[in-house]
Amino acid sequence: MKKIMMTLAAAICTLAAMANSYTGQLSVSINGVGGLQDGVAINMDQNEDGTYNFSLKNFVFYLEGEPMPVGNIELKNLTATEGAQFKNVSFNDIIRIEPGSNEQFPNPDDWAGPYLQDVPLVLSASFNEMAISVHIDIEMPALDQTIKVDFIASAKRGDVNIDGELGIADVTQLVNLLLEN
């Protein structure tokens, strides 16, 4: 029974490593003016071929407390390089931002991103199963804007002991649960 439970736990961990959702703090500035947002979610999902898909969905920028819905930023098939503790991806190309699907802004015309057309986006991200750090630069000369986005977060899956933190206590609790059966 213990062997079956260990195999099941390993399979669950493998599946969880393929799709990571991180929730954390997003910092956005336009020409040096901006603010922070907590509770923002970013996904870094691994494809079967080992590449990654990055997504920041329903991106809303707050300027002086007022929401400015931007949309969905999605980058597909990013190649990761292995670092000592983190995988690293980078992107430097033109993208199109699609409208979001947030019920607070139900009309596709509410989202500013699609009106921007071609957006020159530079992204660098470092991540592992537990944490991510993302930096995005967008230079929009026609609008005389420099946009900087920074995101730091942790993945909240694996909180076995349900204390709101991920750590050695979660591993200990998982091992104890497996050994009890």
Number of domain units in the chain:
1
* pLDDT given for residue 176 in this prediction: 56
pTM: 0.75
Q: What is the extent of the structural domain holding 59?
A: 2-180
Phi-psi region of 158 (alpha: psi -120 to 50; beta: other; left: phi over 0): left
| pLDDT tens per residue, range 8-31 | 444 444 444 445 899 999 999 999
- Going by C-alpha positions, the residue among 163, 181, 157 that lies closest to residue 6 is 181
Q: What is the CATH number of the domain that holds 148?
A: 2.40.160
The pLDDT assigned to 169 comes to 66
